[in-house]
Amino acid sequence: MSFRNDDISRDRLEALAAFQRLVHFKFKNASLLNRALTHRSCVNEDPHSHGNNERLEFLGDAVLGLVTAARLFVALGDKSEGDLARIKSFVVSEDTLSDIAARLGLDALLLVGKGEERSGGRNKKAILADALEAVLGAAYIDAGFDKTQELVLSFINPEIEKVLTDRHRKDYKTLLQEYAQKWHHCYPEYELDRKTGPDHDRTYWMKCTLLGMAYGPASGKTKKDAEQAAGAMAYDAIIAAGGTEAERLLASRRL
């Protein structure tokens, strides 16, 4: 696998340099970083491209998982394996990683194909999360484990703190489902209410029904996001109405 900086334009190199200053990590080979920020859709449309970020994402996922698990193991010696696994699932989730990637400006740095661009690909959570993991894979190849660990912890430590202080993004669909199963032996149901906007910029509106009550519709750029929003509306309504069972369940999920 070869990477050459002279294949990258000056403007692109300057943009990559600005990112490196932001994250306080200097790549010896900027082409590694450039590859990490190249989506496969760009390669599919450009026969002169030197490859996409999928292999780097595979490596970065492993590095991220190891660093996060080791950090939790050392820092939270009083927590069970189940608690550690649950914290880790929040910290390395697609939602968390895509939020970090967006804050770091990876959406603007991503190289995507024209079709993916038209469909809003550079802002898709999965693509952003994968790009961040690819950057970590590139960092590992470029500088080794110790320096990459420092980079990972620089943005993972605040996310761990959010979970420990209950300020992280909740998975309301799961919370609502666990509440419904435990106390009412049923499941919430989700139904598409409507879609709005053009094909390349859809907004979905979903309703959540539980125990004969409908909540929503709530919106999201994907059906999954809209379902989460509808689930949050339902769960918040149950709490507001004095759903003590839900409150106990939520408390049991906190660490």
Determine the average pLDDT of the residues in 79-102.
Answer: 90
Please enumerate in sequence order all residues whose Cβ is within 8 A of that of 155, keeping only pairs 6 or more positions apart, or say none. Answer: 100, 104
Q: How confident is the model at residue 255 (pLDDT cuts 50, 70, 90)?
A: very low
Listed residue (18, 10, 12) closest to 35, CA to CA:
12
Interval 32-64: pLDDT, tens: 999 999 999 988 777 666 789 999 999 999 999
Query: Which residue among 57, 99, 130, 133 is the active-site one?
Result: 133
The residue from 61, 107, 142, 227 that is catalytic is 61
The SS3 assignment for 216 reads strand
Known active-site residue 54? no
What is the per-residue pLDDT across 154-200, written as a single tens digit (0 to 9) for each? Answer: 999 999 998 888 666 677 888 788 788 888 889 999 999 999 998 88
Asked whether the predicted pLDDT for residue 122 surpasses 70, the reply is yes
Please indicate whether residue 193 is annotated as part of the active site.
no
pLDDT value of residue 254 = 45
Q: Is pLDDT above 50 for 230? A: yes
CB atoms within 10 A of CB 249: 18
Q: Hey, what domains does the chain have and what are their CATH numbers?
A: 5-164 (1.10.1520.10), 172-253 (3.30.160.20)
Could you tell me if 212 and 202 are in contact, meaning their C-beta atoms sit under 8 angstroms apart?
Answer: no
pTM: 0.71
